[in-house]
Structure 1
Amino acid sequence: MNIEKKLTALSERISYAREILGGSLRPELEAFALEVAGFKDKHGRKSAEDQFKTLEALDRRLSALEEALDRQLTPMDKVRIVRHPQRVCLKDILENVYDNYSEIGGKDEHSIDPGMLIARAYISRRKGKKLINQPVMVVGQEKGHGEEFRNGGSIKPWGNSKALKYMKVAARERIPIHAYVNTPGSYPVEDFPGAAQQIAENIYEMAGLEVPIIAIFSEGGSGGAEAIGMADKRLMMSHGYYSVISPEGAAAIEGHIRGPERAPVELIASCAKSQMITAQDNLRNGYIDEIVEEPPLGARPDHFDFYKRLREQVVRATDEVTLSVRGVRLFRALALRHFRKNLDIIVRWDMSESARERLVARRYRKYRRLGQHAYQDKRSFWEKLNAARSGVVSSTYSSVRYGLLKPLKQNIQRIAEEVTDEIHVITGKIDSIYRSVAGKIGMKSPIDNAKVMELTSLSRDDSNGHLDNGTSYVSPQAREDREVSCPYSAKRGCMDIWAKDLFTDFAGVCPTCGHHFPMEYQWYLHNVFDEGSIREFNRDIVAGNPTGFPNFDERIEAAKDKTGLGSSCMTFHASVENIDLTCAMLIAKFRGGSVGAAEGEKFIRALEIAQKKHRPFLAYIHGTAGIRIQEGVNGLIQMPRVTLAVRKYIEAGGLYIVLYDTNSYAGPVASFLGCSPYQYAVRSSRLGFAGPGVIRETTGIDIPPNYHNCYKALSRGHIQGVWSRRDIRKNLHQSFLTIGGRNLYYR
């Protein structure tokens, strides 16, 4: 390397260090920069050999300075590292970690979404004279190095759909998946298939892929990370971050920033620290399994030792996942666990059918264990003991009734039906002859019209357009002695309505245009479910502040005092028209219905109980603002955790219905709610992936006022129907009778 190139390289390293430090002055770095800038003036007359030796000494000093600066990096510094154009990208990794690869699903800008890169790659391993080529499917967000057409790794719905398509190909071909997560978040568009819906589908389907999945995190931004981040083993680069929201987004929420304003730099840095977003934080909390150490100040394209280290850890992680579900594995598993360096072990990545089944079951158990430290369980010892006893009783009863007696009953019934159908062939012929003779002599067969109607009519509406309240609950809004104007009165000619009539007889529905005014969650408890049937459980699992976010303990306690609730999720058993069900309700009154560790845990436990009791499950979403940002990844991890529980429940034959009301956005909609095959919305509700403010901030686009309207969601295929509030009870009962799985108790 000549002297000019060496000087240029040193200058570039200094500029890079300045940029990732965010402009904060470091005297030692500035002094070194002055020394490099004055190199020619001071050493220009020396011989080339002496100049080169001096430059070598400067290089060693800069390396030592980089190591010192690396130890002082803040979480926000690491955010700047992963966003820097010089950050190692997926193509660099494909070129240097894998032995051969072919990019598929489009290339560069000639792709449905250039931000999502898919490649069929090989890792070659030598054992003696034998060379073994092991194929993998590599998927990941690709930012490139300043390539604007890749949209900074912010993936559109169709990009996530492409990733899922090829992950399914990998499952069919029975090869492992290596997913490289490097995104600030998904691009918030609702056009079909919709950002939220596609992320939800990705998480749901990845939960059941019967091949090892290894995820490697660099920048893990919110739902965009979860779209490909569900994995059996999760590695994270030491300078990466994994977060429920960007530090800037968190600061905007915390600082109540509106419009074109920007949050103060100090607040952004504080949020980055408080959310516990670094690799070290996530390893400590159990949300990643291993850290891949990077060079000082982060991995860049020419750091070849880093690629070697990454390859070793990715290969070992794939080996460990494969061996964990194998039959014959004792010595190799011990060697991988205790002698990690310089291993000469070959693990073939193909698995038997039983091993693949164990892999999926192990994946569920892994995510079920996550986040157990992040909520407060205030149940007494006796309450916990009673819950455990109830679970054992329910499991035993379920095994006997549905595992032994029901199959026997079905077999007997099937044989009886076959015999009956055979007999009908004979009796039908006799009946045909009888009708023919009766017609010729003028006789008419008696017809039971009531019986015909019973057989041919699916249901009928007995309400005559009136809601049968039948309870003592009255909305506080009905106690106000005033007239209420419909917000659409100027456009639709709606008359003013007296508050008492509107919020009692009309159930908060404008009698002219059908606009739905917001109603309290208590209204639904008293008007949708059978009177006296609600039995709440797990009330004492309550929200906390697992990250120690500044001033958040007070806000959580204030929400508990104001609402009388311990979290935004209420779980209970109830019935509708004598059909027993289990319900999880997200309540907007408690912190906007946001979801954290307590809400996720309650949701999962409710699903597990519903599965044991063979009951249909209703997720009634009174409103949700998304994942609770103050809980950091403790909240974000609920997206895959609860989705896995939903999948397990549905796969067991359960009926999972989601009903949205008011405003429902972000993480829950993009995971455990959006994966339901039966999603409905109450009229006048709004739902989607991101609110108007977030879309404006991330895309610069002002969306139309009706962009998130439930009818728009219906036309895009997000939901399957729009219900009037006054018809919820009737429509739910209809749904329980006509849709659902094979395993429900009343089938």
Structure 2
Amino acid sequence: MEHLRKRLLKVEERIVYLGQIKEGPDWGNLPALQESLKGVRDSFYDLSQEALAEKIASLEESVSFLEARCEETLSSMERVRIVRSPLRFSLKDLLENVYEEYTELGGEEDANIDPALVAARASICRRIKNKTIMQQVMVIGHEKGHGEEYRNGGSTKPWGNEKALRYMRVAETEGIPIHFYIFTPGAFPVEEYPGAAQQIARNLYVMAKLRVPMIAVTSEGGSGGAEAVGMGDMRLMFSHGYYSVISPEGAAAIEGKVREGDKLPKDLVETCADRLAITAADNLRLGTIDRVIPEPILGAKRDDFAFFRRVKAEMIRATDEVVLKTKSLRAFRAYELKLEKGGEAGLDDEPRIDVSWELADDEIERLLQLRSRKYREMARQGYQEKLSGYAAFYRRAGQSLAKLYYTFRYDILKSQHKQVKKVIKDVSGESSVLIKQVSAPFSAAYDFISRKPGGRPTRSGTLWGGGSEEQVEYGEIYTSSLANEDRTVTCPNAERHGCKDLWVPDLYGEFCGVCETCGHHFPLEYQWYMRHLFEPDSIREFNADLASINPLDFPGIDKKLELARKKTDRPCAMITFDARVMGIDIVVAMLYSNFRNGTVGAAEGEKFVRACEVAKIKRRPLLAYVHTTGGIRIHEGTLGVIQMPKCTMAVREYIGSGGLYLVVYDNNSYAGPVASFLGCSPYQFAIRSSRIGFAGPRVIRETTGEDVPPYYHSARSALKRGHIQGIWDRREFRRNLHKSLMTMGGGNLYYR
């Protein structure tokens, strides 16, 4: 009777699970099944064993039929509910069933640094004939648990992602592969050190060039929180999982303009889940993942042991593939042919071929090259570039010639020039002692004659006089169009600092949008910066034809994009150009607010990557000026999210080549860009009165249940937390930028 009781309990669990997926017990034949279940449960001890077994078998058959029907019609939101179910397998279940043994690192359970992020040293074995081969890996991933509140639903805090980074480096030191498992609705949005955005950016920056194979598998992937441990050489996804730029509920709140605290319309949430293209099939089609791991009907649960065997086979196979691609195509093809031989390895069995996961130095370099190429090619279908075949050929030829020219000029000629200068300096240094002894009496006599009464000797030139401070204005003063209104405005700090009302023509004219009493910075349009920062006629825009599109066919977005293009006369939210600042040529990537609030999609990411490549070729500093960014553009789904690792890879390669990367924030800068290619810069500054962070106050309140202080995202708070390295006054922007260009960065810059 005990085994029949267990079968009955299992049937009840399956019926409840179906009700959870369908968000209600009234779907299909569920009400009748529940009544039948109740009848069997009430008469459990009144029926004979044969009759009881027959009734339970009938229930099982009916439930299986409903499950198959549900699987055939699964919506995107129903997949989200499957992933969120406490019955679903977790990282601990994978550690216990996929790996032979493991040791959790950094503490256990509620004594952990962050129980939502688990790192473990594990062993995985493959069997070749009668021989067992154990291979070591580092397993890092989110642990949702099965209802434990202290795990925070897999929402990792900044110190959890810091722990992940620490053990990534341990794996790199030991030369073992890393297996990432992603089970998170998103990162926990707090700015306390090390900061949610900053830590994700650090993780991405390190993963870009981590010298070991990385396999990333997604069950629940929520935007930046997923990418914090998701930049794999092979990106897999469970068939019932989801990977999204934002939760369906968050998208519904934005699309429906739902006020905080109001109930979200169910139909709108379902619609947004479908439109965001969040399923495994969607992401495979978009190219943001490489392969899908099949699951049982309605998703795998914690006791699906056949599924765990499949996961083990897939992880071994994926690691083998990444390793073999670093060796040679011939070796990889031979491996594939062996897998195709029937009988050597079944669909659910691990590959029975001995592949060493240790890489030589040249293989590591090939691994990094393949990773760079992989992310460089992602999301190319997410933007539009109107170039004829001739124009595209001309551009490629120009890039090749430019690379050849700058390599010859700066790598060959300049290195020789430096050597000659060093020899001359050494020789002149030795001879200067003798020359000084001979010329000293004449110099003393000249200084005595040329001295003014009561003063010092006069010398001309910018190094001695004050002329350099007066040579920073270029051409005519640009006056903001905001200065055309004849009215006054009140400074937000008037009550605290006693600021006087400001006449608009003065405020946006000679005051540069700054309150003269307290220094509060009123927002200015991006054109003001372009006219005031750079020398006249030095701006040369490039890649101006790259345009944002609507790759997911999100309803209404084509019209909104067209309105943004008419409003700005530009095709996307980023402008990339060459410019000059006080005699120094630089490359600039500017995100501005006028186009869709400065959000980043595939076009903006591609333009930024190309700006990095131009700056790298020309040996010029790269300035990312963020007039405003509202984060990743949600209407492009994961094609937008993938810009985080893609752009960070480009930044890492630019900095690695010796470039100087400066980031300056203004107005409001939030979310994905700050948590990736902006936040990874070693030199970040903010214009006074700007606001910087990972998530806005509403998201923080909804996630943490707590209000944030008024100045939580202020530039001063960001400076205290170590997010930025300084706060700049708008009126001193050019001078501070020039100082940074002259004092920061390595010797690879053309003017060093």
Q: Same fold (TM over 0.5)?
A: yes
Any idea what the Cα deviations from partners look like across 1:184-232, whole Å, max 9, x if unmatched? 1111111111110000000010111010000010100011001000010
Could you say which residue in structure 1 is the equivalent of 2:502?
Answer: 497
Provide the C-alpha distance between the structure 2 equivalents of 1:351 and 1:505, rounded to a whole number of angstroms: 62
What is the 5 A alignment of 1:63-142? Answer: 63-142=64-143
Could you say which residue in structure 1 is the equivalent of 2:620?
Answer: 615
Any idea what the Cα deviations from partners look like across 1:110-138, whole Å, max 9, x if unmatched? 01111110100001223344432110000
Could you say which residue in structure 2 is the equivalent of 1:34?
Answer: 35
SS at match of 1:208: coil
- The percentage of aligned residue pairs carrying the same residue is 49
Residue number among 567, 570, 594 corresponding to 1:565 in the alignment: 570
Provide the C-alpha distance between the structure 2 equivalents of 1:722 and 1:458, rounded to a whole number of angstroms: 25
Deviates more, 1:217-226 or 1:2-11: 2-11
SS at match of 2:628: coil
The 8 Å contact of residues 196 and 669 in structure 1, kept in 2 or not, is answered as: yes
Q: Displacement of 1:364 after TM fit? A: 0.8
Provide the C-alpha distance between the structure 2 equivalents of 1:644 and 1:594, rounded to a whole number of angstroms: 19
The 8 Å contact of residues 321 and 332 in structure 2, kept in 1 or not, is answered as: no
SS at match of 1:239: strand
Any idea what the Cα deviations from partners look like across 1:673-725, whole Å, max 9, x if unmatched? 00001111111100010111111111111101110000110111111111111
The 8 Å contact of residues 25 and 31 in structure 2, kept in 1 or not, is answered as: no
Is 1:529–2:534 an aligned residue pair?
A: yes
Could you say which residue in structure 2 is the equivalent of 1:353?
Answer: 361
Deviates more, 1:731-740 or 1:214-223: 731-740
SS at match of 2:718: helix
SS at match of 1:241: strand
Provide the C-alpha distance between the structure 2 equivalents of 1:150 and 1:195, rounded to a whole number of angstroms: 17
SS at match of 2:60: helix
* Equivalent AA in structure 1 for residue 366 of structure 2: R
Provide the C-alpha distance between the structure 2 equivalents of 1:459 and 1:603, rounded to a whole number of angstroms: 37
Mind listing any 5+ residue stretches in structure 2 that lack a counterpart? none
Deviates more, 1:82-91 or 1:399-408: 399-408
Q: Displacement of 1:52 after TM fit? A: 1.8
Could you say which residue in structure 2 is the equivalent of 1:367?
Answer: 375
Q: Displacement of 1:174 after TM fit? A: 0.3
- In structure 2, the CA distance between the partners of 1:419 and 1:133, relative to structure 1 (3 Å rule), is farther
- TM-score under structure 2 normalisation? 0.93
Provide the C-alpha distance between the structure 1 equivalents of 2:481 and 2:251, rounded to a whole number of angstroms: 34
Is 1:379–2:387 an aligned residue pair?
A: yes
Is 1:702–2:707 an aligned residue pair?
A: yes
SS at match of 2:226: helix
Residue number among 576, 583, 589 corresponding to 1:584 in the alignment: 589
- In structure 2, the CA distance between the partners of 1:41 and 1:738, relative to structure 1 (3 Å rule), is closer
SS at match of 1:94: helix
What is the 5 A alignment of 1:229-248? Answer: 229-248=230-249
Provide the C-alpha distance between the structure 1 equivalents of 2:108 and 2:42, rounded to a whole number of angstroms: 48
* Equivalent AA in structure 1 for residue 116 of structure 2: G
Could you say which residue in structure 2 is the equivalent of 1:596?
Answer: 601
What is the 5 A alignment of 1:200-599? Answer: 200-327=201-328, 329-330=331-332, 332-335=334-337, 338=340, 341-342=345-346, 343-420=351-428, 423=430, 428=433, 461-462=469-470, 468=473, 470-471=475-476, 473-599=478-604
Is 1:626–2:627 an aligned residue pair?
A: no
- In structure 2, the CA distance between the partners of 1:256 and 1:315, relative to structure 1 (3 Å rule), is same
Any idea what the Cα deviations from partners look like across 1:144-188, whole Å, max 9, x if unmatched? 111111111111111100000000100010000001011011111
Provide the C-alpha distance between the structure 2 equivalents of 1:322 and 1:158, rounded to a whole number of angstroms: 31
Could you say which residue in structure 2 is the equivalent of 1:22?
Answer: 23
Could you say which residue in structure 1 is the equivalent of 2:665?
Answer: 660
Deviates more, 1:516-525 or 1:560-569: 560-569
Provide the C-alpha distance between the structure 1 equivalents of 2:40 and 2:308, rounded to a whole number of angstroms: 33
Any idea what the Cα deviations from partners look like across 1:427-482, whole Å, max 9, x if unmatched? 5489689989x99x9x999999678997799996337xxx8463364322111111
- In structure 2, the CA distance between the partners of 1:451 and 1:714, relative to structure 1 (3 Å rule), is farther
SS at match of 2:535: coil
The 8 Å contact of residues 459 and 465 in structure 2, kept in 1 or not, is answered as: no
- In structure 2, the CA distance between the partners of 1:331 and 1:667, relative to structure 1 (3 Å rule), is closer
The 8 Å contact of residues 484 and 505 in structure 2, kept in 1 or not, is answered as: yes
Any idea what the Cα deviations from partners look like across 1:633-680, whole Å, max 9, x if unmatched? 011110110000011111011111111110000000000000001111
* Equivalent AA in structure 1 for residue 222 of structure 2: G
Provide the C-alpha distance between the structure 2 equivalents of 1:270 and 1:550, rounded to a whole number of angstroms: 11
The 8 Å contact of residues 471 and 526 in structure 1, kept in 2 or not, is answered as: no
Deviates more, 1:61-70 or 1:364-373: 61-70
Provide the C-alpha distance between the structure 2 equivalents of 1:644 and 1:215, rounded to a whole number of angstroms: 17
Deviates more, 1:71-80 or 1:18-27: 18-27
The 8 Å contact of residues 682 and 722 in structure 1, kept in 2 or not, is answered as: yes
SS at match of 2:181: strand
The 8 Å contact of residues 242 and 279 in structure 1, kept in 2 or not, is answered as: yes
Provide the C-alpha distance between the structure 2 equivalents of 1:641 and 1:207, rounded to a whole number of angstroms: 9
* Equivalent AA in structure 2 for residue 329 of structure 1: A
Instruction: Give aligned pairs, total.
Output: 739
Provide the C-alpha distance between the structure 1 equivalents of 2:10 and 2:222, rounded to a whole number of angstroms: 32
SS at match of 1:38: helix
Could you say which residue in structure 2 is the equivalent of 1:168?
Answer: 169
The 8 Å contact of residues 126 and 352 in structure 2, kept in 1 or not, is answered as: no
The 8 Å contact of residues 137 and 175 in structure 1, kept in 2 or not, is answered as: yes
SS at match of 1:461: helix
The 8 Å contact of residues 670 and 689 in structure 1, kept in 2 or not, is answered as: yes
Deviates more, 1:14-23 or 1:272-281: 14-23
The 8 Å contact of residues 113 and 159 in structure 1, kept in 2 or not, is answered as: yes
* Equivalent AA in structure 2 for residue 582 of structure 1: V
Mind listing any 5+ residue stretches in structure 1 that lack a counterpart? none
The 8 Å contact of residues 543 and 566 in structure 1, kept in 2 or not, is answered as: yes
The 8 Å contact of residues 459 and 734 in structure 1, kept in 2 or not, is answered as: no
Deviates more, 1:684-693 or 1:548-557: 548-557
The 8 Å contact of residues 529 and 576 in structure 1, kept in 2 or not, is answered as: yes
Provide the C-alpha distance between the structure 2 equivalents of 1:217 and 1:661, rounded to a whole number of angstroms: 34
Q: Displacement of 1:83 after TM fit? A: 1.0
- TM-score under structure 1 normalisation? 0.94
Q: Displacement of 1:261 after TM fit? A: 0.9
SS at match of 2:283: helix
Is 1:672–2:669 an aligned residue pair?
A: no
- In structure 2, the CA distance between the partners of 1:34 and 1:446, relative to structure 1 (3 Å rule), is farther
Q: Displacement of 1:398 after TM fit? A: 1.9
The 8 Å contact of residues 332 and 345 in structure 1, kept in 2 or not, is answered as: no
- In structure 2, the CA distance between the partners of 1:535 and 1:77, relative to structure 1 (3 Å rule), is same
Q: Displacement of 1:8 after TM fit? A: 1.5
Deviates more, 1:119-128 or 1:408-417: 408-417
Q: Displacement of 1:263 after TM fit? A: 1.7
Provide the C-alpha distance between the structure 2 equivalents of 1:409 and 1:27, rounded to a whole number of angstroms: 81
Could you say which residue in structure 2 is the equivalent of 1:649?
Answer: 654
Provide the C-alpha distance between the structure 1 equivalents of 2:338 and 2:289, rounded to a whole number of angstroms: 18
Alignment RMSD? 2.6
* Equivalent AA in structure 1 for residue 323 of structure 2: T
Provide the C-alpha distance between the structure 1 equivalents of 2:333 and 2:251, rounded to a whole number of angstroms: 48
- In structure 2, the CA distance between the partners of 1:40 and 1:330, relative to structure 1 (3 Å rule), is closer
